[in-house]
Structure 1
Amino acid sequence: METGIRVSDVDIVRLTPGFTLDDRLQRFMETAARLGAGQVLVAGNDDNLQRSADNLAILAAAGRPFGLTMNLEPMPWTQLRNIAAAQALIAASGREDIGILVDALHFWRAGESLAALSSLPAHHLNYMQLCDGAAQRPESEQELIRQARSARNVPGEGGLDLHGLMSALPATLPVSLEVPLDGEQGALPPLQRAQLLFDAAQPYLRACA
């Protein structure tokens, strides 16, 4: 059935100490291209900056024939903790065709400020991830990861400054909803969950349009 919905982005590729451009990754990119995706989420899991930068450059070059752009997603429990670290990694890679993915939860959990977004060149912003969460950062890293992976909040049902974040980003920036839910909301059928999140996102999309 044709729905008119297309795939915008896929994930996840991890830059680890043992990263290799193997057959599995090649098939991943081939599949992403067949689905029509243009953006790939990349996580930084290597504390060696130059090795990560070299691998990122290899990955970015490999994605180009498939029409894929790599996007670094800072996550506060990884070696790529914040926007500044992502900018440093891109600079070290020697490439300009790499994006930085702003995830609403990770952005505020990393203690970022809206001013950090003003230093991002427009060509490094290809899409963002919208969700909500508790205003207070969890005390433990374990809980930080748990909430991010399985217990986020529907936009408008948490305490994050989503209006401020959306207003600080380009008005035409594509928005991806990444809202893993638990409890009753997480048990909803997929279409009901999609409708719930679509409706909840509208006030934030209208505000930046």
Structure 2
Amino acid sequence: MKRALGLGHFTFLDLPPVELVRLARQSGFDFVGLRFHPVAPGGLHWLPDAAGLRELARVLQGEGVRLYDIETIVIDAALRPGDLVPAMEAAAALGGKRVNVCADVFPGLSETFADIAARAADCGLALDLECMAWRGINTPRACLDLITASGAPNAAYLLDALHHTRCGGTPGDIAGMLRGQVVSAQLCDAPAVAPSGEGALLAEARGGRLLPGDGGLDLAGILAALPGETIVSVELPSAQDTRPPPERARAIFAATSALIAAGAATPTEDFQ
């Protein structure tokens, strides 16, 4: 049974959504994630207006590609949850399922997280929370603890292979999670040894990721530990790989598909 595979927007963030959707279809991917909200004020994002939303819906349908999630919301003290509603409503209109988030630690974090989760639920969406080594929520355990503290029933841990590993996570941590605690996963590779310092970790995450099989992360162990129903995509921004997007996207799909085919995980056919 074929495991559906998605392409995260961060892999080709300079491409408008319509171009990313077409690239995904041409390269073999089944679904996409899209950047509808800036990671930081003024950052690049692609939230469409009403006409753009209609065009994007038409292209998604025509290409036979679906939207799975929108990325990546940084939950910090300055964030106003209401500002996320336009992106959530656009995602819902396109059939999206989930919102990727990460978080810093500040007074009222669990309440803010619960507020965002409730707004997502109002749009028929759920949250996926990932750890990052330079954020306050910087371990898999911290993610699960925040979800529990918030009481949000529609939140889960987002397994990003790079962040999970750099935050001290192991395949065993994934295998120990309860059903429903890890719904989505993002794959890439990287050197086995982490770079030193926050700046180097940031640079690696934002432009130093490698094709699956070209690094030293335990991707086979991660895949084997994932529940069969976990939805898998690729998030692979690279400043070093300067090949044209079609060539690079095909290489990413081929490398990831080979990894999945060789893995021990029981695949699911598709997401609902």
* TM-score category of the 2 structures, normalised to the smaller one: over 0.9
Among candidates 27, 34, 37, match of residue 86 of structure 2:
27
* CA–CA distance in structure 2, aligned partners of residues 47 and 138 of structure 1: 27
User: 1:117-196, aligned counterparts within 5 Å?
Assistant: 117-183=174-240, 185=241, 187-196=242-251
Distance 1:20 1:155, change over 3 A: same
Greater relative contact order, per chain length (Cα 8 Å cut-off, separation 6+): 2
> 2:125 aligned with 1:68, yes or no?
yes
Work out the percentage of aligned pairs sharing the same amino acid.
32
2:132 aligned counterpart, secondary structure:
coil
Name the one with the larger helix percent: 1
The alpha-carbon deviation at position 18 of structure 1 amounts to 2.5
Normalised by the size of structure 1, how large is the TM-score? 0.92
The alpha-carbon deviation at position 101 of structure 1 amounts to 0.1
The alpha-carbon deviation at position 96 of structure 1 amounts to 2.5
2:67 aligned counterpart, secondary structure:
coil
Q: Which residue of 2 aligns with 1:87?
A: 144
Q: Which residue of 2 aligns with 1:6?
A: 66
The alpha-carbon deviation at position 103 of structure 1 amounts to 0.5
Q: Which amino acid aligns with 1:46?
A: V
The alpha-carbon deviation at position 114 of structure 1 amounts to 2.1
User: Are 1:151 and 1:182, in contact at CA under 8 Å, matched by a contact in 2?
Assistant: yes
1:158 aligned counterpart, secondary structure:
coil
* CA–CA distance in structure 2, aligned partners of residues 75 and 21 of structure 1: 21
User: Are 2:121 and 2:154, in contact at CA under 8 Å, matched by a contact in 1?
Assistant: no
Which deviates more, 198-207 or 149-158?
198-207
* CA–CA distance in structure 2, aligned partners of residues 80 and 158 of structure 1: 25
Normalised by the size of structure 2, how large is the TM-score? 0.72
Which deviates more, 109-118 or 57-66?
109-118
* CA–CA distance in structure 1, aligned partners of residues 88 and 218 of structure 2: 34
Unaligned 5+ segments in structure 1 are none
Runs of 4+ aligned structure 1 residues displaced above 4 Å come to: none
Among candidates 254, 258, 263, match of residue 199 of structure 1:
254
* CA–CA distance in structure 1, aligned partners of residues 210 and 128 of structure 2: 24
Question: Across the two proteins, how many residue pairs are aligned to each other?
Answer: 204
RMSD: 1.4
Deviations 1:132-152 (A, max 9, x none): 001101111100110001110
